[in-house]
Chains A and B, each alone.
Chain A
Amino acid sequence: MVKKYDLRTAVIAFFVTLTIFVGGFVVASLFNDYKVELLKQEQASLSRDMESLRLEETYLASLEADRACPLINMQLGRLSEKLDSTSSRLLAYQNSREFGSRFQELKSEYALIQLRAWMQVGDARESCGTDVATVLYFFDIACAGCEQQGYTLDYYKQQLGSRLMVFSIDRELALPIMSLIQEDHGITRSPTLIVGDVALVEPSKEQLQAALCSQYSVKPEFCG
């Protein structure tokens, strides 16, 4: 005896499930676009700030140092905050693993902004004696010691606040300027930090502390 059956409910269930999945894709994709757009806006704003800073520097160069430097320092403080916030968004985006070509573009763009900022802070240190330490941090995602190095840097960032500016660069990004800096400092692996002008390969907490302390004219408390 053949049993009667009705596949109607199963067919409807299949299409409902399919709709939920496709809906999920669409929503996730729209949300992703929104996130990318937001990051782009932030980076555009950063670029404008950098451009503005460059113009301001040109303008301030015509002023006396004692008038120009406080203004430059103020601008750098603002820039530091913005770099940090964009960095944390990029990191969160990276953590959500929504990798793709758009993410690579954003990351490259951000790396370039960071490198420009790193150089400008260096200039400000020379011209105005700005008492800010800079760390150019080369990492890559698969690197074993990078996570711990990141925590050590976070620790000093927490201790020093705006007196420390960390610029994190993914070594996997193929940017000509990065190759130049890495060759210049003999960087071959991650994690490597350029503190001031010295390259440190996977420094311990103590080594990093010593290098940072040497950067300040007014020493932080932990430098003893």
Chain B
Amino acid sequence: MLLATTGLLRAFIWVCFYLNTTCFTNHSVQIDPRIAVLAIVSFVSMFMAVFWLLTLFEHRKILHRDPKPKKYPNLSIIIPAYNEEHTIAQCIKSLLKLEYPGKIQLIVVNDGSKDKTLETAKPFAKKGLIELYDKKNGGKASAMNLGLKHVKHDYVACMDADSLVHPRALHYMVGYFDDANVAAVTAALKVTPPKNKLQEIQWIEYLVNILQRKLFALLDILYVTPGPFSVYRTRAIKSVGGFDEDNLTEDMEIALHLQERGWRLENSMLAEVFTHTPMTVYSLFNQRVRWYRGLVQNLRKYKHMVFSKKHGLLGLLILPATIALIAVSLVGAFMFVQSIAASTWGFILQLWFMLTIGFNWVFELDLAWMLFSTNLFVIAIAVFVLGASLIILYYSHKYSNESISFPKGLAYVLFLFVYFLLLATVWAFSLFKEFTGAEKTW
């Protein structure tokens, strides 16, 4: 959402430049409906950007301040695995290296894998390092629910089989459970070293999400406990009946369910977990369609929380804003594409005509002309938007203990100015699939 707000603003700026219009200073002519939409989009988006910046500055000194636990409780970790023969061993090894004073029960649930996941995990079971269960394929949630039945401790973590956890991650997380109202603690999700531009873009995106998740936790509006690694209070998770097996994003469903019941969800920025990201646009697209469709599915399931005072800022601000941002991101992207297409077509026509008449096209830098063509309001918003985006990027890096990577320069540009288009396309596709009742696939 943090990025969506600034992304939308950038879309707005682009459309404004392409329309070459003042947007807000029409006096006598009829206001173009596109301009009115842009004004609303920009206001909503800018409001969200300002809101996040204010929240960030208000809390920036406590972002890394995780509470020390009174004691280190014993805990269980469930690893659901489906076709993870290449990653499961590494995942288990990373858990075995956890530097944690309490006892840890490791539960691996093979969800009917068609590859050698089960065989790869068996040696660990034989050595008594893990408990291994095998079941028919039924989806990640069903695997976790099976694991839940075997949990022995008061706290349970769920971990994706393709993720790796930092040895000290649990140290930072368990202290939050001293507050009896806390049901779950989420970690800082980072990605494994990127191998191409698409993964570099996601590397940046994940850093921004780390900051976002922390800010959400501070405002008690977290509505996802990410699958790669989250720790739950066993009692809380069992009180809501475990994970919803008919949900595309069970990690969001469980979070909303816990929020609905009045539990708090926390986050530690220091507890690092590393996950793999899609390497191709196709696989990224599919992943995001599942996520976004899951979001829509959950918004429909928990629609009674939207505008509900009972659920605090989550109900009053974030869920409505999420719905608004879905709408405006689609509208913004559509207008952006339409403006680009129209401008490009116009430009091609002009160029063609100029070439046919033999026009000697000389570019003349006319400062006076530039002065008259310049729309100061749009420039001012552009500066604000870029400034806000850069501040968010800077703090995302700073609080994730990463430095701005200059070799990833192109990825930053693509992330800032192009990525939102891909995500808007995903949104359109996800909504289409959800509302046409297309088959759900994990």
Contact = CB atoms under 8 A, between A and B. Distances in A.
A181 interface: no
Contact of A10 (B317, B353, B375): B317
Interface stretch (B17-25, B133-141, B268-276): B17-25
A140 to B, nearest CB: 15
Interface string A1-40: 1111111011011101100110111011101100100000
Contacts of A152: 357
Nearest to B354: A151
A157 to B, nearest CB: 11
Interface in B338-352: 350
Interface residues of A, number: 46
Given A9-B51, A13-B51, A28 B25 contact: yes
A6 B220 CA distance: 11
A9 B368 contact: no
Contacts of A10: 51, 313, 317
A158 interface: yes
A92 B372 contact: yes
A152 B353 CA distance: 9
A78 interface: no
Contacts of A9: 51, 54-55, 58
A62 interface: no
B222 to A, nearest CB: 12
B24 A25 contact: yes
A10 B52 CA distance: 9
Nearest to B360: A158
Contacts of A98: 22, 25-27
A101 interface: yes
Contacts of A101: 27-28
B15 to A, nearest CB: 14
Interface string B314-329: 1011000000000000
B376 interface: yes
B358 A155 contact: yes
Interface in B88-139: none
A14 B406 CA distance: 35
A89 B372 contact: yes
A170 B29 CA distance: 17
B40 to A, nearest CB: 11
Nearest to B47: A17
A31 to B, nearest CB: 4
Interface string B233-266: 0000000000000000000000000000110000
Given A10-B51, A158-B360, A25 B353 contact: no
B24 A24 contact: yes
B376 A28 contact: yes
Given A3-B312, A17-B47, A88-B366, A96 B375 contact: yes
Interface string B208-239: 00000000000110000000000000000000
B28 A100 contact: yes
B43 interface: yes
A25 B47 CA distance: 17
A201 B273 CA distance: 72
Interface string B261-300: 1100000000000000000000000000000000000000
B369 A88 contact: yes
B359 A151 contact: yes
Interface string B369-381: 1011111110011
Contact of B369 (A89, A99, A147, A155): A89
B28 A13 contact: no
Contacts of B301: none
A97 B316 contact: no
A2 B43 contact: no
Nearest to B261: A1
11 contacts: A2-B310, A16-B54, A21-B24, A24-B377, A27-B376, A28-B377, A92-B373, A96-B21, A97-B22, A154-B359, A158-B362
Given A9-B55, A12-B54, A151-B359, 13 more contacts: A3-B262, A17-B47, A20-B46, A20-B50, A20-B384, A25-B25, A25-B377, A89-B369, A92-B373, A98-B25, A99-B28, A151-B353, A155-B357
